[in-house]
Amino acid sequence: MTVGRSRQHGFVTLSLDAPERRNALSAALVEDLSAELRACGEDESVRAVILTHSGTTFCAGADLRDPPDPKAFVALLRQIVELPKPVVARIDGHVRAGGLGLLGACDLSAASDAATFAFTEVRIGVAPAVISLPLLPRLDPRTVARYYLTGEKFGPAEAAAMGLVTTAGADVDEALAPMLDGLRRSAPEGLAETKKLLTVRVLDTFDAQAADLVALSARLFTTDTAREGMTAFLERRDAAWVW
């Protein structure tokens, strides 16, 4: 399994657990995480899900050696958005590309000072296509334009200001504590109905754009530009277009 599971009271913690691959989104990881989320959604005793990671990276984006099918990844993102339990991201490391899609699909999130973020798609010759489904309805447009277009790395303060994370602090668990206490005190039915109110715009975006963005992602990853970008990344060198 590429996803660890633990439970404390009504909280289930799902941990991306492929640190040797920087928790990259492989077909297996997407399948395993989807199965765990499905089980949480069906378990009436689960109050909320905490999504976190082992190692120093939350998620490095798509596994370039074993990428998931774009449709499967979109289904996973929608599953997080539609889950009748709040999903809370706990970030204590690096988040890149597709990992930001996972983060954006979550309802609440906390990041530590060790967290860094980057939309690196443009640097390998593709675009942040399917991850835009949960992200663009929730993020500040001018700020996200900068980081989408430049691939720059940014920190937790910038992530909080643009709406990518809910809160940031030196200690991620300390930052997370008030939110978890609030969820613990909330009725499951109230949480489920409130989440539906909060996710209407995001789900409308999935309905309107998912098919087109899946097609765009699939097309971009087969171009000569993307092949050069991914090869350069794996070989740890500049791509041909860098001067």
* Amino acid in position 22: R
Residue 64 binned pLDDT confidence (cut-offs 50, 70, 90): confident
Say if CB 229 and CB 126 are below 8 A apart.
yes
Q: Which class would CATH give 3-173?
A: alpha beta
Burial of residue 136 (CB within 10 Å: 0-12, 13-18, 19+) is middle
Beta bridge partners of 111: 91, 168
Q: Is the pTM of this model over 0.75?
A: yes
In the three-class reduction of DSSP (H, G, I as helix; E, B as strand; rest coil), residue 100 is classed as helix
pLDDT tens digits, one per residue of 14-62: 999 999 999 999 999 999 999 999 999 999 999 999 999 999 999 999 9
Q: Tokens 């798509």 — which residue?
A: 62
Q: Considering only CA atoms, which of 85, 38, 56 is closest in space to residue 180?
A: 85
7 closest CA partner among 45, 35, 41: 45
pLDDT-based confidence at residue 194 (cuts at 50, 70, 90)? very high
DSSP assignments along 106-118, one per residue: SSEEEEETT-EEE
Q: Is the pLDDT of residue 177 over 90?
A: yes
- Listed by start position, the domains of the chain span 3-173
DSSP one-letter code for 142: H
User: 105 phi and psi, to 5 degrees?
Assistant: -75, -20
Give the other-Cβ count within 10 Å of 83's Cβ. 22
Dump pLDDT digits (tens) for 104-159: 999 999 999 999 999 999 999 999 999 999 999 999 999 999 999 999 999 999 99
Confidence of residue 1 (pLDDT cuts 50, 70, 90): confident
State the pLDDT at residue 67: 87
